[in-house]
């Protein structure tokens, strides 16, 4: 799994003119899932996201986690995070998991994040043409890949 985590003061997802998910302070997370991903990747990534201390404390240092600031999560599925661009100008998405593999893992991470935060997780619609609006705070953007977890 690959996640692009953006600290935001607001974010929303719109599909066909309807808002499907919206948050104020928190994380907008773009999530890519590949065939090699497992339930273990879901748990590791969810725990890392919830524990990540990138919100400012009283001294302006990034020492607070999502719960410390009453933050929320907007989670958006994005297979293009696994684009391969080595050859030619048209990206290949062969590493991205097909929906039959990706949807259950996407649903598992929504549930894992819900359990860890004690809050509902705002989402887009898997596979839809989504319009994302955000106000990146900082800007703070973190890229995580569960294949790197052995090194952390």
Inter-CA distances, 88 with 34, 84, 85, 91, 92, Å: 22, 10, 7, 8, 9
Query: Does residue 128 lie within any of the structural domains?
Result: yes
Residue 132 included in any domain: yes
The β-bridge relationship of strands 72-77 and 26-32 is parallel
Per-residue pLDDT tens listing for the chain (152 residues): 999 999 999 999 999 999 999 999 999 999 999 999 999 999 999 999 999 999 999 998 999 999 999 999 999 999 999 999 988 899 999 899 999 999 999 999 999 999 999 999 999 999 999 999 999 999 999 999 999 876 54
In a domain, 109, yes or no: yes
Range of the domain at 120: 2-147
Tokens coding 6: 């953006």
Region for 17 from its dihedrals, namely left if φ exceeds 0, alpha if ψ lies in -120 to 50, beta otherwise: left
Domain count, the chain: 1
Active site residues: 80
The CA distance from 125 to 148, in Å, is 27
Q: Is 152 inside any structural domain? A: no
CATH value at residue 120: 3.50.80.10
């Amino acid at each position: 799994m690959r996640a692009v985590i953006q600290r935001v003061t607001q974010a929303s997802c719109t599909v066909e003119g309807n808002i499907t998910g919206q948050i104020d302070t928190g994380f907008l997370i773009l999530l890519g899932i590949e065939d090699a991903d497992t339930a273990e990747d879901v748990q590791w990534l969810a725990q890392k996201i919830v524990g990540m201390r990138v919100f400012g404390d009283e001294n302006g240092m990034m020492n607070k986690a999502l719960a410390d600031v009453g933050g929320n999560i907007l989670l958006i599925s994005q297979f293009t995070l696994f684009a391969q661009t080595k050859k030619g100008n048209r990206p290949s998405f062969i590493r991205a998991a097909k929906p039959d593999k990706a949807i259950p893992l996407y649903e598992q991470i929504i549930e894992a994040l819900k359990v860890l935060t004690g809050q509902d997780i705002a989402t887009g619609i898997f596979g839809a043409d989504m319009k994302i609006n955000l106000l990146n705070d900082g800007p703070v953007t973190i890229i995580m890949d569960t294949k790197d977890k052995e090194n952390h």
